[in-house]
Amino acid sequence: MHVRVTFIAAARCSSLLAERFDDDRPLDQAGWDEVQLVAPALIPYAAAELRYCSPAPRSRATGDALGLGPLVQLALRDCDMGRWRGLTLGEAMAREPAAVDAWLADPRTAPHGGESLLTFVGRVGEWLDTRPADDGGRIVAVAEPSVVRAALVYVLRAPLATYWNIDVRPLSTTAVTGWAGRWNLRFDGAFPQPLRP
């Protein structure tokens, strides 16, 4: 028995330079415009048997705008950043440079008082492992890019430091297939067309 889970990264709520930890702001106008632009390509995901989203406003709004009608899953929430919640990385660095350095260097630490990267990746992985395994079942989940990164680290059983090297763009899709404890990353793309003479 296996299942296919497709993650859709939520549309943005700010520019990349203004991204905030554990951000609970709604989509900005650019985010809404991007959803409208890509909606025709993503609408087929509404046919998935199960449709989920994180509790963040931008994830819920993205899922609704795509016609998914997703069910909120607390396990898909962003990493709990404790007292850094709502700050940009630059703001956290200005306030607590040694703590930010420790957090970036050791995935087991949580100097901000929230979740460590290890705990965050484990939470997202546990959510994946508890999806119902209905042979060939399709699931879609709209979540923040950080949640998709955590899922990929878990699926690939990669070193936790790999998390920092994964770039997940807003409204990108990432599919994984398998079942509890045995996941594979799946790349779906357009097959190249033969060259015409």
Cβ 69 vs Cβ 63: under 8 Å: yes
Distances from the Cα of 96 to the Cαs of 18, 83, 107, 116, in angstroms? 18, 11, 17, 16
pLDDT tens per residue, the chain (197 residues)? 789 999 999 998 765 556 778 777 788 888 889 999 999 999 889 999 999 999 999 999 999 999 999 999 999 999 999 999 989 899 999 999 999 999 999 999 999 999 999 999 999 999 999 998 775 689 999 999 999 999 999 999 999 999 999 999 999 999 999 988 899 998 875 444 444 43
Q: Sign of the C-alpha dihedral, residues 136, 140, 143, 148?
A: positive
Distances from the Cα of 68 to the Cαs of 30, 118, 184, in angstroms? 20, 30, 24
| pLDDT of amino acid 194 | 43
Helix (H, G, I), strand (E, B) or coil at 126: helix
Residue ranges of the alpha helices (H) in the chain? 29-42, 57-65, 89-95, 97-105, 117-129, 145-156
| pLDDT of amino acid 152 | 97
| pLDDT of amino acid 191 | 43
Return the number of other C-beta atoms located less than 10 Å from residue 14's C-beta.
16
Helix (H, G, I), strand (E, B) or coil at 36: helix
| pLDDT of amino acid 96 | 95
